[in-house]
Structure 1
Amino acid sequence: MSPIVQRTVRTTCPYCGVGCGVLATVTDAGVAIQGDPDHPANFGRLCSKGSALGETLSLDSRLLHPEIGGIRASWDEALDTVAGRFRETIERHGPDSVAFYVSGQLLTEDYYVANKLMKGFIGSANIDTNSRLCMSSTVAGHKRAFGEDLVPGCYEDLERADLVVLVGSNTAWCHPVLFQRLLAARRADPKRRIVCIDPRRTATAESADLHLAIRPGSDVLLFNGLLHYLRHNDRLDFDFIERHTEGYAAALGTARETAPTLPAVAAGCGLAESDVAQFYRLFAATERTVTLWSQGVNQSTSGTDKVNAILNAHLATGRIGKPGAGPFSLTGQPNAMGGREVGGLANQLAAHLDLDDPRHRRQVQAFWRSPRIADRPGHLAVDLFRAIGEGKIRAVWIMATNPAVSLPDANAVRSALSACPFVVVSDCERDTDLARFAHVQLPALAWGEKDGTVTNSERRISRQRAFLGAPGEARPDWWIIAEVARRMGFGAAFGYRSPAEIFAEHVALSGIAGAEKRRFDLSGLQTAYDDLTPTQWPVNAGHPQGTPRLAFDGGSGKLKFVAVRPRLPVNAPDADYPLILNTGRIRDQWHTMTRTGKTPRLTAHIPEPFAEIHPADGERLALADGALARLDSRYGSALARVRFSAGQRPGTVFVPMHWSEGNSRQGLANALVNPAVDPVSGEPEFKHTPVRVAPYRPTWYGFAIARRRLAFPDAAYRVLVPGGGCWRYELAGESPREDWRQWARQKAGLDGDSLDGWLEFADPRAGRYRCAWIAGERIEFALFVSPSHELPPRDWLAGLFAQDALSDAARASLLAGRPLSAEDDQGRIVCACFAVGEKTLRRAIDAEGMTTAEQVGTRLKAGTNCGSCVPEIRTLLAETRR
């Protein structure tokens, strides 16, 4: 019988800043997810993460009730405790002794209420956000150049541009739907060109017409050289410069001084002169040019200067606010921009008004009717947790983020939290790395359960709508914050009954910004909240339907060139730490994996933390591809699986940032990262930490697969990987074992001596052991151990746990770790959207003589949804041809 459709709700994806529209259809069989064909960000397409959203809605790990000291409490008890402790701390130590740390995962309405409470009623600016970790350098660069945090263009510009320059952005993996729009535009007009500037040869670089594998940290030099080249070759728009900008002479003088010749630029950037010259010629000759950048630019001790170096090139050529031309920052989170709109950063006010402007402060205070207003910036993220460790901040409320995993120098952050007298955590998940430090935990609604708005990378405001009921006692973040505010004595200003009321107040406050000639202005928005369709600000009397791209006609003041000098990263490699660590995202995971880590489809592609290193470095360091390595910095250490890649720049190592201690013992990448920050933006340097890498040689390697979650406290290395109907554990240990059978049976939960259903192979002299436990017709547990990292593939074995009854062939080949028939083994997942494995792809390519990714897509569907697996499919095609 087919499932009964109950309703379909239009909402927005909770992952990256592309802001894709989603259709969520709730049936009696679950929630079906599709892309919204009418949403202008994605026109119906979703990436692998978005496609799998329906598989992440389980409640098994959710925080469903308030807790005080780990014990369930009522909402009144929990809220009274939070309000009382914050009020008491403020009375004893002043308003700057408390802080909020919030998140781009919050909706705009949540953000608005949190910022209002902290800055307008507590009277401190100690509210910062995890957007500080990814977007604050762009915010600072925008403010220096435009006087306001503006993204001038829109996604359509990528499709209208003749040249797209991607700087420090693996767009193919991190913003895949947008990248597919870009590739489709190039297919429609093959004369269009893509340039990728990135030290790594990423999936994005594989699709580019030109890849500049730049020396880490040398972006300012490259773009100063471009500015000098444009002037030297008479490619500037002097009319635009004269009428709309200031500071050109100083910026050009600094560019000429610091990047005097093309050979000097090439040498400083570690590039071939011919490649630099080709890039400069392309940029100079192409009027319709869009430059996109992301964390590779922002996450740097010179991130703000890098942003301004890019902006200088666009100001000098007048390529801004025009169809197919402009600088374009890609935000990392679904509502990073919405948080900036309401002043969620510690050095902002609200509605793009300035915290350091007394008149702006008076206007906001009068609007809020607040007893006080913060009059100076609060602690920025890294300094905020340093202040907690120093005892300056004595109560902190952390909402919808996990700084115990995501902040640099994570061990220092954990030490600070352990010493903090009062830590409140609002979250959806109960058992996170952060939860162990919480005195009070407050259950918040998750995606699919809450209502509000988010703003994507092109200034487009979209609705997130609820299609699921509130589980347990979970509540909206705005409600939780408002209830605490009421209990602190501020009830008259926080009597909200719905997110629509909060949004209306946000819109009204934006009218003050519009009157101050700020571009952020929603005062012309007339649509009812429930009927709001995706709309780009400003929305005012002059633009009642919104504004796709911002024109710069001089009405909002002069745009500013900023003279920037190349600066070396503050921490240079040395004899003790000779390699440069670069951290970032992978294709199918998101942040700390609390959502994406729930679905086997997304964990199958890359199941473990890895250290990607150039083969020459690997050979020199005696590393083995596929083995384990230990990484050390001056701040901490981590273990990761070695991956050799010729696309990795020699002298560097890449480690993804997603794994927490909860799902990977010793896999915490940010334990390694130095806490140095950009002096202007306060954004941390995630892309340049000196490290050393050495082989990690445990006594034994292994993996276990079981139907229930197990504990392996005696494994020095342990990675948890969810599977279909099972849990998989990648293991390594430093202590040898005498009796593997006893250990395995204990893990399997078997206490007696009966060996019914127990299969095993043991070679004690070689240190090898394999076993499986079959109860009735089903496999319940399997363990494979070896003194070498070379163990059987796990994918086929894990697949057996999805079967209610094992076949005779499966039983016969179980301990071999591979099926009797190769057709039964699809290998590790390459295409997460359609769950197509590597071995399936190789067999089809070989058998049918395929030569293109399009042929593979027609035959197996792989690569036909988000397209982020296409570069890997092309690699398989090339390997098969060879």
Structure 2
Amino acid sequence: MAQPRQQPDDHLKERTTCPYCGVGCGVKARLEQGRMVDVEGDSDHPANFGRLCVKGSALAETLGDHGRLLEPRVDGRPVDWEVALSETASRLQAIRAEHGDTAVAGYLSGQLLTEDYYVANKLFKGFLGTPHLDTNSRLCMASAVAAYKRSFGTDAVPCNYEDLEEAELVVLVGSNLAWNHPVLFQRLRVAKARNPLMRVVVIDPRVTDSCELADLYLGIRPGSDARLFNGLLTWMADRGRLDPVYLQRHTNGFDETLAAAREAVSDIESLAADCDVDAERLETFYYWFSSQLHVVTLYSQGINQSTSGTDKCQSIINCHLAGGKIGLPGAGPFSITGQPNAMGGREVGGLANQLAAHMDYDSPGAIDRVTRFWSTPELTPTLPEAPGYKAVELFEAIERGEIRALWIMATNPLVSLPDANRVRAAIERCPLVIVSECMTDTALVEMADIVLPASGWSEKDGTVTNSERRISRQRGMLPPPGEARHDWWIISEVARRLGFGEAFDYSHPYQIFTEHAQLSGFENDAEHQRRLFNISALAELDRAAYDALSPIQWPVTAKAPLGTARLFEDGRFITADGRARLWPVQPRGPEQSLCNDYPLRLNSGRIRDQWHTMTRTGRSARLMNHRTEPFVEVHEEDAREHGLVDRGLARIVSATGEMRARVRVSPAQRRGELFVPIHWTDRFSGAALSGSLFRGLTDPLSGQPESKHGAVRITSLPITWEASLVLDHQLDAQLGAAVRDDSSYWTRIPLEQGVCWQMAGEPRAEQRDWREWLAKMLPVPAGPLADDPSAERLRAAGIEEGRLRWWLMVGPVTELPGLGWIGQRLGDAISGQPLTDEQRRRVLAACNDGTAHQGPIVCSCHQIGRASIVGAIRQGDDSIEALGARLACGTQCGSCIPELKSLLEEEKSHANAAIGDTTQALAV
């Protein structure tokens, strides 16, 4: 297998894979004296060819021992590994003995490596005998998987990233590619520049940054996706735009599928009204899709996270099959994965309805096959006979007392699952909760009976599989801190103490990987029902070959030893008759209905610079600067109707919970709809769990929850004061809890040398006396002060032995200066005491001489704020290139380019309006 070419300084760098989204970018990390000092994109990795988004570029900033779990705990007490492992095994065994095997469950994560996943699945399903092992991938990819299996007979993404560059039409539906998969968005941008004939269509209720590349935007009504694609199918049929040869040779089910689509679709005007889009624009999309053979439809959580997500995915697949737009360069239905190893987890059976190696419980002979493969001379596994509980069902079973032991690995269901308050209550009543985790400061760790410290990125050693089926090595470059251990090792050691050591006798992850590869090829032929997932050509790797493994796409077999770039090129599928199946779809709206009490539709999603629950990205100060607080985006007219103001505070309330967030009035929102981010936890903000606002309703086939269609109301949060308190790390550790408890609203914003607490609230008695509060709360007395009592504004700072320890501003958040300068000054010497007038002014202003407030950060790579960019535009920098030349914004990862373009358009619009006003005045 060809190895990547070496760069001149490659001997100083390690190649690995990014731990964030499913793009699976290659990373080169530079190490010095046992520390990672820098990362850059791997120019030889075929997923990214050297590109990295801002999160990937900041990976080195997220490392360090601070905040890490460094030793095991049992019942809140630090213990050694022998005690922790023995207690884990004995307590699991006691629950099995009293309540049966199915009283035990596991909940895994797409953050685990394939080797970790494989060993966990083998232990739970093979040797503990419980089917109740599921993963947080259920929350993002399960509907796409179910639709692929229904149509193709297997969970297989047919496309690759090159198809985005080969396509004549790319359709983004339910995917904000610019923010959630920025490197693919940059590849698409380059491809579009090279091919002037390429068109991009964005279908999304929100106007997102992805619209920057759009030739056509359809701002559809939430939940109407299946109706839109059913309409496309009937439009193609009525205008002779089908591929009858492909349908006849390679598919089944077209007639009944078309008949079902016709029942749900009348004329184009009625359909457009149902979807709430312009009829002419809708028909333009239909014409473009029907006229091109090389069409890629890229879809993600906006499609999947629905109680009818499988059918929405199916409606897209139906159109591709009907037009023969699959198995070709630049063509296919492409589900883009949310996590770095969501696909690897599915390969080894991480979902509750799978066994292993893409074998399911209902696959003929699968249970017997896996049993025989996992058997040893002295041990025979006892696999369950039927699938287990899917994620939401799993926690409902815990709530009922049916499941009494839960082992959670590398995820936090308190944050990510819907109906978060109910999930918390379920975990609290579970008799045995085991948590394998990297970080110490989470509510889940506090609730665990047994805590097992796990290794993290840069320490873990294994493989991940990205969205295009490409297996890459995530290499361990640094030793785990303290007593942290790899997940596969922890699981294997528990298995040994349960009496299963012979089946878990691993000393290195390559042994796990090759066993996984062997199982993928075991009885995998026409006689035993062929399975598409097959990496048997990698089953004989030794440790050196495994360590040197280059990125490769499965299947990897004797016939395809270099991997397989694209699937179904011959029109043969993994069904009994080798034909793909079109499936009738009856569109259904969201199950979370709007009503008088909850009249607004709530959408949730990721933001550009954060990842999941921020346990990693929250450690990088610059990643916190783009969006520093939890927020809710609302249309201007809705804001006016509900008494909200831009940058004010709001309460969002549903039948299941409440969230408090900063208001962002945005023209990107449709009337009657809100958007909130998913990332903030109780570690970073009070009452900011978006998951608490959604009911635990799921797709009946995939089990994926409906996290895009909440029903809520919104009101202004009544406050009488706002304040920003900057603390160095030592003071934060001492006072953080008291600051949090003293506020109706709080958000904790990491800075370079400390944190900023953004606070707001109502006084419990009379108006707060801030001087008294400072004297009571802060051990370092106030130094310089500047206040205006009549306006209830104050600025103060605490300096100890010439060093800045804290800084306070009381007043509206709209007056808050950029926190970068003051965050860097924490702990620095501020010169002698007493301060000069100039030093006092600089500290209270939180900026150096001549340093203007930048406003919100737009370019995270170079920390360039909105005010600086607007200023440059007004000085004549009227292009992305000119802004990059002056400020460097947009010149590194490119994630901020859509926002830069929006600012250029906004300033151009303002300038034109001003010219119009002047012209009108002159005419008068």
Return the TM-score normalized by structure 1.
0.96
Is residue 412 of structure 1 aligned with residue 418 of structure 2? Answer: no
Partner of 1:473: 483
Whole-angstrom distance in 2 between the partners of 1:877 and 1:803 = 39
8 A contact 1:352–1:513 mirrored in 2: no
Partner of 1:522: 535
Partner of 1:718: 746
Give a deviation string over 1:571-606, Cα, whole Å, max 9, x none. Answer: 111111000110100000000000000011100110
Partner of 1:197: 203
8 A contact 1:724–1:801 mirrored in 2: no
Tell me the secondary structure at the aligned position of residue 615 of structure 2: coil
Which residue of the other structure, out of 865, 869, 890, is the alignment partner of 1:837? 865
- The Cα shift of 1:739 comes to 2.9
Is residue 795 of structure 1 aligned with residue 819 of structure 2? Answer: yes
Is residue 24 of structure 1 aligned with residue 24 of structure 2? Answer: no
Which residue of the other structure, out of 740, 760, 779, is the alignment partner of 2:804? 779
Runs of 5+ consecutive residues of structure 2 not aligned to the other structure: 1-8, 911-924
8 A contact 2:752–2:824 mirrored in 1: no
Which residue of the other structure, out of 374, 387, 394, is the alignment partner of 2:404? 394
Tell me the secondary structure at the aligned position of residue 195 of structure 1: strand
Q: In the superposition, relative to structure 1, how do residues 471 and 726 fare at CA in structure 2: closer, same or farther (>3 Å)?
A: same
Whole-angstrom distance in 2 between the partners of 1:513 and 1:259 = 46
Is residue 553 of structure 1 aligned with residue 571 of structure 2? Answer: yes
Whole-angstrom distance in 2 between the partners of 1:628 and 1:230 = 48
8 A contact 2:118–2:516 mirrored in 1: yes
Partner of 1:60: 66
- The Cα shift of 1:824 comes to 4.4
| Mapping for residues 386-535 of structure 1, pairs under 5 Å | 386-512=396-522, 514-515=524-525, 516-525=529-538, 528-535=545-552
Task: State which drifts further: 564-573 or 763-772.
Answer: 763-772
8 A contact 1:404–1:414 mirrored in 2: yes
- The Cα shift of 1:207 comes to 2.4
Whole-angstrom distance in 2 between the partners of 1:810 and 1:19 = 50
Partner of 1:70: 76
Task: State which drifts further: 788-797 or 680-689.
Answer: 788-797
Name the amino acid aligned to 2:727.
A
- The Cα shift of 1:802 comes to 5.5
Q: In the superposition, relative to structure 1, how do residues 802 and 188 fare at CA in structure 2: closer, same or farther (>3 Å)?
A: farther
- The Cα shift of 1:608 comes to 0.3
Partner of 1:867: 894
Taking only aligned residues, the RMSD between alpha carbons, in angstroms, comes to 1.7
Tell me the secondary structure at the aligned position of residue 429 of structure 1: coil
Whole-angstrom distance in 2 between the partners of 1:241 and 1:651 = 41
| Mapping for residues 689-768 of structure 1, pairs under 5 Å | 689-708=710-729, 709=732, 710-711=735-736, 712=739, 713-736=741-764, 737-750=767-780, 758-768=783-793
Is residue 359 of structure 1 aligned with residue 334 of structure 2? Answer: no
Give a deviation string over 1:476-501, Cα, whole Å, max 9, x none. Answer: 10000111111111111011111000
Give a deviation string over 1:10-58, Cα, whole Å, max 9, x none. Answer: 1000000000000011013642101101000000110000000000001
| Mapping for residues 290-689 of structure 1, pairs under 5 Å | 290-369=296-375, 370-512=380-522, 514-515=524-525, 516-525=529-538, 528-550=545-567, 551-554=569-572, 556=574, 557-689=578-710
8 A contact 1:126–1:378 mirrored in 2: yes
Name the amino acid aligned to 2:475.
R
8 A contact 1:596–1:602 mirrored in 2: yes
Task: State which drifts further: 547-556 or 558-567.
Answer: 547-556
- The Cα shift of 1:671 comes to 1.1
Tell me the secondary structure at the aligned position of residue 279 of structure 1: helix
Name the amino acid aligned to 2:642.
L
- The Cα shift of 1:301 comes to 0.5
Whole-angstrom distance in 1 between the partners of 2:582 and 2:126 = 34
Name the amino acid aligned to 1:531.
A
Give a deviation string over 1:839-867, Cα, whole Å, max 9, x none. Answer: 222232223x0111122123322112222
- The Cα shift of 1:89 comes to 0.6
Tell me the secondary structure at the aligned position of residue 413 of structure 1: helix
Tell me the secondary structure at the aligned position of residue 759 of structure 1: strand
Whole-angstrom distance in 2 between the partners of 1:602 and 1:105 = 20
Tell me the secondary structure at the aligned position of residue 360 of structure 2: coil
- The Cα shift of 1:461 comes to 0.2
8 A contact 2:755–2:823 mirrored in 1: no
8 A contact 1:14–1:334 mirrored in 2: yes
Task: State which drifts further: 757-766 or 582-591.
Answer: 757-766
Partner of 2:6: none
Whole-angstrom distance in 1 between the partners of 2:846 and 2:122 = 59
Name the amino acid aligned to 1:570.
E
- The Cα shift of 1:822 comes to 4.9
| Mapping for residues 252-267 of structure 1, pairs under 5 Å | 252-267=258-273
Whole-angstrom distance in 2 between the partners of 1:839 and 1:650 = 29
Tell me the secondary structure at the aligned position of residue 680 of structure 2: coil
Task: State which drifts further: 524-533 or 399-408.
Answer: 524-533
8 A contact 2:751–2:820 mirrored in 1: no
Is residue 855 of structure 1 aligned with residue 882 of structure 2? Answer: yes
- The Cα shift of 1:127 comes to 0.3
8 A contact 2:433–2:450 mirrored in 1: yes
Name the amino acid aligned to 2:220.
I
Which residue of the other structure, out of 261, 275, 278, is the alignment partner of 2:284? 278
Give a deviation string over 1:611-634, Cα, whole Å, max 9, x none. Answer: 001111001111010000000000
Tell me the secondary structure at the aligned position of residue 436 of structure 2: strand
Whole-angstrom distance in 2 between the partners of 1:352 and 1:5 = 37
Name the amino acid aligned to 2:804.
I
Whole-angstrom distance in 1 between the partners of 2:573 and 2:715 = 58
8 A contact 2:241–2:290 mirrored in 1: yes
8 A contact 1:194–1:210 mirrored in 2: yes
- The Cα shift of 1:772 comes to 1.2
Q: In the superposition, relative to structure 1, how do residues 799 and 490 fare at CA in structure 2: closer, same or farther (>3 Å)?
A: closer
Whole-angstrom distance in 2 between the partners of 1:573 and 1:563 = 27
Give a deviation string over 1:618-653, Cα, whole Å, max 9, x none. Answer: 011110100000000000001000001111111110
Whole-angstrom distance in 2 between the partners of 1:270 and 1:462 = 43
- The Cα shift of 1:806 comes to 4.1
Name the amino acid aligned to 2:402.
K
Whole-angstrom distance in 1 between the partners of 2:396 and 2:862 = 45
8 A contact 2:212–2:901 mirrored in 1: no
Name the amino acid aligned to 2:186.
Q
Task: State which drifts further: 374-383 or 28-37.
Answer: 28-37
Name the amino acid aligned to 2:342.
A
Whole-angstrom distance in 1 between the partners of 2:523 and 2:265 = 39
Partner of 1:13: 18
- The Cα shift of 1:450 comes to 1.2
| Mapping for residues 41-190 of structure 1, pairs under 5 Å | 41-190=47-196
Give a deviation string over 1:328-356, Cα, whole Å, max 9, x none. Answer: 01000000000000010000111111212
- The Cα shift of 1:805 comes to 4.1
Whole-angstrom distance in 2 between the partners of 1:436 and 1:665 = 17
8 A contact 1:797–1:814 mirrored in 2: no
Runs of 5+ consecutive residues of structure 1 not aligned to the other structure: none
Tell me the secondary structure at the aligned position of residue 354 of structure 2: coil
Whole-angstrom distance in 2 between the partners of 1:699 and 1:823 = 30
- The Cα shift of 1:829 comes to 1.7
8 A contact 1:49–1:588 mirrored in 2: yes
Task: State which drifts further: 823-832 or 83-92.
Answer: 823-832
8 A contact 1:110–1:478 mirrored in 2: yes
Give a deviation string over 1:231-279, Cα, whole Å, max 9, x none. Answer: 1111111111111110000111111111122112101101110110110
Partner of 2:916: none
Q: In the superposition, relative to structure 1, how do residues 358 and 241 fare at CA in structure 2: closer, same or farther (>3 Å)?
A: closer
Tell me the secondary structure at the aligned position of residue 675 of structure 2: strand
Tell me the secondary structure at the aligned position of residue 665 of structure 1: coil
